[in-house]
Amino acid sequence: MSKKELQVSAIENGTVIDHIPADKLFAVINVLGLAELDNAITFGTNLKSTKLGKKAIIKIWDKFLEDDEVNKLALVAPSAKINIIRDYEVVEKKKVNVPEKVEGIVKCMNPKCITNYEKVRTKFTVVNNSPIVLRCHYCEKLTDQEHMEMI
């Protein structure tokens, strides 16, 4: 696709998060805390995608995601692809991988879990990837995608 046909304008430097399922756009915005950034951000949703039916895309100027941000993204939109843009060119493409362990990102859905009443960093093992299911290291209760709340 040529640049003039892009559905959302090209960016000069920064990160393009592509292939986000359309219904996960706002979850991604929330999990990455994009509302708090001063960077220029453009996004589109319900765009045509051969793989996903409808996809969303987010373009963040002058930002490159940290590892913990990539892990958060993987938890809400495992199909997303990260493109690093420099001088208008795609210099790197990364798939997001759901990590084996998730630490300090997600809340345990068990209200009685120690992580919910003491200052203990949450820790989970990923027991299923799609949909994502996490097992708490402390109480062993499962937290699924539907109940997943970020810290």
Among 13, 49, 110, 145, binds Zn ion (CB under 5 A): 110
Which one of 139, 142, 145, 150 is in contact with Zn ion (CB under 5 A)?
139
Q: Is 55 helix (H, G, I), strand (E, B) or coil?
A: strand
What residues between 6 and 65 interact with ligand CTP by CB under 6 A? 6, 10-11, 16, 18, 57, 59
Residue 26 DSSP label: H
90-109: contacts with Zn ion (CB under 5 A): 108
Alpha helices in the chain (DSSP H): 25-31, 67-76
Q: With CB cut-offs between 5 and 8 Å by kind, which of ligand CTP, Zn ion, none does residue 49 bind? A: none
Taking the least distance from each CB to ligand CTP, the nearer of 10 and 37 is 10
Residues 99-118 vs ligand CTP: string with x where CB under 6 A?
A: --------------------
To the nearest 10°, the Cα dihedral for 104, 101, 120, 118?
90
Q: Count Cβ atoms within 10 A of the Cβ of residue 3 and give its class: 0-12 exposed, 13-18 middle, 19 or more buried.
A: exposed
Binding to ligand CTP, residues 71-90 (CB under 6 A): 81, 83, 85, 88, 90
CA-based end-to-end distance of the chain: 39
Provide the edge-to-edge strand list for the sheet that holds 123-129.
101-103, 123-129, 132-136, 142-144
Please report how close the Cβ of residue 2 comes to ligand CTP at its closest, in angstroms: 10
Structure-block tokens of residue 128: 């299923």
What residues form the annotated binding site for Zn(2+)?
108, 113, 136, 139
Chain residues that interact with ligand CTP, rule: CB under 6 A:
6, 10-11, 16, 18, 57, 59, 81, 83, 85, 88, 90
